[in-house]
Amino acid sequence: MFLDFLADIENYMIWVWLGIFVLTLVLEASTQDFVSIWFSVGALMAMAVSGFTPFWAELIVFVVVSACALIFTRPLVKKMMDRTVRKTNSDEFLGKRVKVIKEITKYDGGEVKLNGITYVAILMEEEEKSIPVDSIVEVVSLKGNRVIVKLIDEGIKEEE
């Protein structure tokens, strides 16, 4: 009886492997990371050999091909899909504390020196009073080629 079941299942294995292939592709399409694409490759290879090999050989092909695809390509794919945020060189300005070299008023931009370069500095919208020369300010954002600054406590030193 069990041998009859195995003989019957051999006739339908191409459809089983096709179903596994489609299922893993749908699962892959529904996620943002590569999760099941390797099993799709294994199912495709098992489906390719299903017409002339026994069930147990197809299963071995599926496991070996899936494992090899996973082992050899996952590190490469992870490196290519690396989504870490990389800072640009303008991002390094944010949070820097610098000295004012020309007074900054609410209606007129002043100047600050940052990394040896003089930049036009404007006040944050919340700032009401002007910032005198030699005060220490913090860069809070960038707007084009101007830096937006806010006054910080007098006891804090300038960053080099």
Q: What is the pTM of this model?
A: 0.49
* Tokens coding 115: 């990394």
- The domain made up of 91-151 is a member of CATH 1.20.1250.20: no
Q: What pLDDT score was predicted for residue 51?
A: 82
8 versus 110: which is more confidently predicted? 110
pLDDT in tens, 73-127: 878 877 777 666 666 666 778 888 999 999 988 888 899 988 888 889 998 877 7
Residue of 22, 49, 24, 47 lying closest to 34 (CA atoms): 24
pLDDT in tens, 22-77: 999 999 888 877 778 889 999 999 999 988 888 889 999 999 999 998 898 878 87
| Single-letter code of the amino acid located at 27 | L
Q: Where in the chain is the domain with CATH 2.40.50.140?
A: 91-151
